[in-house]
Amino acid sequence: MTATVPTSTATTRAAVQREYTGPEAIRVETVERPTPGPGEVLVEVRAAGVDRGVWHLATGRPLVMRLMGFGLTHPRQPVAGSDVAGVVVGIGEGVTRFAAGDEVLGTATGSFAEHAIAKEGQLVRKPDAMSFAAAAVVPVSGVTALKAVERAAIEPGDRVLVLGASGGVGSYAVQLAVAAGARVTGVASGAKADLVRSLGATDVIDYRTTDVTALATIYDAIIDIGGLTPLRRLRRILGTEGTLVIVGGEGGGSLTGGAGRQLRASLVSLFTRQTLTGILAVTAAEPLEALTTRIVAGSLAPALTRTYPLAQAGTAVADLAAGRIAGKAAVVVQD
């Protein structure tokens, strides 16, 4: 297929942060519009999802991520955002799955912008029935939840506990676990309990008033998205041959963050019949297709509860970090 490159203005508006401080430093600027290279697609962004990864990149924490190539003293990629939904307006050499005009969703480099570059293998076509805002909140959180539920090896009738059930990943994990036939208990704040119940959870526990690890219920699987509960306490309520899946790396120290819990879990798992593991999912076409198929079929729905304009992208990330968002939020770049 012949590559197509836009011929209009070479600039675009983007939410930019050039120093590690916090999301309050994100500002909209006019920057050079990116050009797709081999295997890449230029997307005219309509909406971008807000996830915890954006906060980590804004703050540069935990510090280990700076050593992983994200920039030692300042963000290597100054334009924020990863989740994306929009319209293809240019393709690089070798791209065969998309053409100009295709509506897509997936992940991109710097999606809090009017234009962003995405790898062909990290995009799929957007279902016609989905709004761009709803599509934009599927990729990172949806794929992470899908991988967590698969790793939990849930069987019909299992008791499953989801910590962080009202968040982005949690809102998908609850639905996917219910679809797998589990009886799901969600842990969230009382203010967000109705949302968690609407996603299919049978029971909701308010973590502010109740310590779930002190209760008598034993779970076949625990999906921990909260990232703060000590392993020994989670193991207390996990079945003898149950599975604990730790998602992401929230909490913990400034150096490794919550990732240290995943490492400890893997080590402890060597000496017990319980399976203790962690995941760090990568967005790709195959799991995205699986998610969009479920969404079209009506068995899964993005829990989109708030939208922000591009000018308030920093506020959106700050609200997420402060726990002021239930489910998912999107930055709407173009209506």
User: What pLDDT is attached to residue 282?
Assistant: 85
User: What pLDDT is attached to residue 187?
Assistant: 97
Please, what is the average pLDDT of the chain?
89
For the ranges 6-10, 40-44, 167-171, the lowest mean pLDDT is seen at 6-10
d(CA 274, CA 221): 10
d(CA 168, CA 216): 28
CATH superfamily to which 141-279 belongs: NAD(P)-binding Rossmann-like Domain (3.40.50.720)
Instruction: Using a pLDDT cut of 70, give the percent of the chain over it.
Output: 87
Section 310-317 average pLDDT: 94
Give the tokens for residue 254.
Answer: 């400034």
d(CA 177, CA 219): 13
Could you read off the pLDDT of 130-177 as tens digits, one per residue?
A: 999 999 999 999 999 999 999 999 999 999 999 999 999 999 999 999
Residue 304 parent element (H or E): strand 304-309
Nearest to 168 by CA among 42, 285, 297, 49: 49
Report the predicted TM-score, pTM, of the whole model to 2 decimal places.
Answer: 0.90
For the ranges 9-23, 48-62, 78-92, 203-217, the lowest mean pLDDT is seen at 48-62
Q: According to CATH, where is 3.40.50.720 located in the chain?
A: 141-279
Residue 149 CB partners (closer than 8 Å, separation 6+): 173, 176, 177, 180, 223
CATH superfamily to which 11-138+302-332 belongs: Medium-chain alcohol dehydrogenases, catalytic domain (3.90.180.10)
Q: According to CATH, where is 3.90.180.10 located in the chain?
A: 11-138+302-332
